[in-house]
């Protein structure tokens, strides 16, 4: 299969199964990247940091970045369109049946179990990134500090990333 | 296409371009900004319809901001409205990331940038872990749901099962649990009669 088509299909799959958006999609993207060997896990974590510091959804940001790395400009377009296309089809379809869908016990029953699955996928992503990113005690210290800051203060995640970057320059 | 319709489409495009350009953190962080533009400033939808928009984005896979843009654009001007909104909200990220990707190799080899990323990577791990922790507060945990969470973690981390199968299993389990609890209720109701 041509690479352009592979990129499109991979990101179409990510868009199609990416319930919960954002961080929930990270597991899906990671799975596709490992399968195709498109990007190292370290670079992927760097992209998530960049995505967090730049505007826009993580799905679009990583689609554009990975697409560009694999096949430059056309790759970026193909991955980005791929990740948005399922939303486009599903949201427009759903807009027609919205009242029915909202009340449907079947949809709500599925969502009940999708929620813990999404949380599990997010935590799994955190754990597997932890394995490659927490290389020494300094890393654990930074991670613990950021988690505590999110829990106890109102400091924005963007600022926390900037601070972590400054701490990194001092410590490493 | 008439001139007025084209102007309306352009207005939708520009509004969502602005939303895409100024919302950091993605997803739920974007909701108040979208509400301000779409409900308060342009009066395109009322508050109730906007709440519907939020709930529809949670039933559909994909990025929350993109889904909201498509739903709102579609309600305003049909297919082309959805297209204008989707392109508008995605374009700023696309351009910015493209610029970063083009220059990534140059600045990622820089020693200072490498040290900075050594500090940033653990921070990202913490942010993702926190997102999972925060979401778990919104759930009415039953023992079945806790079991499903553990199964997801074991399946993903130890067995390396694809997230797609985990998502499919979640949907099917939800339907099955719903089916059996309804049967149980039917039986109880019949017993009473």
Burial class (CB in 10 A: 0-12, 13-18, 19+), A50: buried
Question: Does the residue A160 lie in any domain?
Answer: no
pLDDT at position B29 is 66
Distance separating alpha carbons of residues A99 and A88, to the nearest angstrom: 19
CB contact under 8 A, A64 and B94: yes
A153's tokens: 């203060």
Contacts of B16 in chain A (CB under 8 A): none
Average pLDDT over residues B2-10: 89
CB contact under 8 A, B122 and A122: no
A125 → closest Cβ in B128, B164, B168: B128
| B162 contact A CB<8A | yes
Give residue B192's pLDDT band: very low, low, confident or very high (50, 70, 90).
Answer: low
Question: Does the residue A112 lie in any domain?
Answer: no
Domains of chain B by residue range: 1-122, 130-193
Locate the chain A residue with the closest alpha carbon to B153: A120
Please tell me the distance in Å from B186's CA to the nearest CA on chain A.
15
A90 → closest Cβ in B60, B65, B118: B60
Contacts of B89 in chain A (CB under 8 A): 56
The DSSP H or E segment spanning B46 is none
Question: Does the residue A170 lie in any domain?
Answer: no
Residue from B29, B122, B186, B93 nearest A58 by CA: B93
The DSSP H or E segment spanning B170 is helix B163-192
**The pLDDT of residue A71 is above 70:** yes
| Matching residue, tokens 């649990």 | B177
* HSE-up (13 A, CA, CB side) for residue B178: 16
- pLDDT tens-digit map of A22-39: 788 899 999 999 899 998
A157 → closest Cβ in B25, B55, B92: B25
Question: Does the residue A121 lie in any domain?
Answer: no
pLDDT at position A11 is 96
CB contact under 8 A, A123 and B121: no
Please tell me the distance in Å from B4's CA to the nearest CA on chain A.
23
Contacts of A146 in chain B (CB under 8 A): 122-123, 126-127, 130
**The pLDDT of residue A124 is above 80:** yes
- pLDDT tens-digit map of B63-79: 888 999 999 999 999 99
Question: Does the residue A48 lie in any domain?
Answer: yes
Please tell me the total count of domains within chain A: 1
Q: Which residues contact B95 (CB under 8 A, 6 or more apart)?
A: none
The mean predicted confidence, pLDDT, of chain B is: 87
Question: Does the residue A159 lie in any domain?
Answer: no
CB contacts under 8 A, B 78-137 vs A, are 79, 82, 86, 89-90, 92-94, 96-98, 100-102, 104, 108, 112, 114-132, 135-136
Range of the domain at A34: 3-102
pLDDT at position B33 is 82
ipTM: 0.86
> Count of CB atoms within 10 A of residue B43's CB?
8
B97 → closest Cβ in A64, A166, A171: A64
A24's tokens: 């929930």
Give residue B136's pLDDT band: very low, low, confident or very high (50, 70, 90).
Answer: confident
Give residue A153's pLDDT band: very low, low, confident or very high (50, 70, 90).
Answer: very high
């Amino acid at each position: 299969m041509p690479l352009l088509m592979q990129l499109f299909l991979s990101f179409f799959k990510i868009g199609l199964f990416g319930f919960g958006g954002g961080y929930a999609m990270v597991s899906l993207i990671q799975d596709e990247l490992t399968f195709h060997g498109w990007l190292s896990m370290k670079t992927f974590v760097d992209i998530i940091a960049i995505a967090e510091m730049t505007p826009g959804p993580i799905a679009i940001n990583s689609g554009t970045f990975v697409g560009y790395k694999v096949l430059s400009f056309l790759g970026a377009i193909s991955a980005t369109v791929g990740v948005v296309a399922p939303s486009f089809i599903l949201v427009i379809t759903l807009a027609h049946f919205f009242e029915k869908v909202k009340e449907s016990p079947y949809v709500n029953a599925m969502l009940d179990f999708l929620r813990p699955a999404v949380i599990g996928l997010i935590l799994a992503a955190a754990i597997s990134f932890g394995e490659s990113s927490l290389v020494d005690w300094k890393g654990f210290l930074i991670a613990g500090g950021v988690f505590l800051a999110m829990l106890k203060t109102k400091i924005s995640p963007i600022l926390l990333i900037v601070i972590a970057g400054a701490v990194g320059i001092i410590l490493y | 296409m008439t001139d007025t319709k084209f102007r309306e489409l352009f207005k939708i495009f520009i509004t969502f371009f602005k939303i895409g350009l100024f919302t950091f953190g993605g997803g739920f962080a974007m909701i108040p900004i979208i509400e301000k533009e779409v409900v308060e400033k342009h009066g395109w939808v009322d508050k109730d319809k906007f709440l519907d928009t939020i709930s529809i984005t949670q039933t559909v896979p994909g990025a929350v901001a993109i889904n909201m843009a498509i739903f709102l654009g579609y309600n305003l001007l049909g297919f082309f409205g959805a297209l204008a909104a989707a392109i508008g909200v995605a374009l700023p990220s696309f351009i910015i990331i493209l610029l970063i990707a083009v220059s990534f190799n140059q600045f990622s080899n820089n020693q200072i940038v490498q040290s900075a990323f050594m500090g940033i990577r653990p921070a990202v791990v913490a942010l993702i872990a926190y997102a999972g922790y925060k979401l778990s507060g919104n759930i009415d945990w039953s023992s079945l749901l806790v079991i499903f969470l553990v199964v997801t973690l074991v399946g993903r981390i130890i067995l390396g099962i694809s997230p797609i199968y985990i998502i499919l299993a979640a949907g099917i389990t939800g339907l099955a649990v719903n089916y059996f609890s309804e049967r149980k209720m039917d039986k109880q109701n019949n017993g009473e009669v």
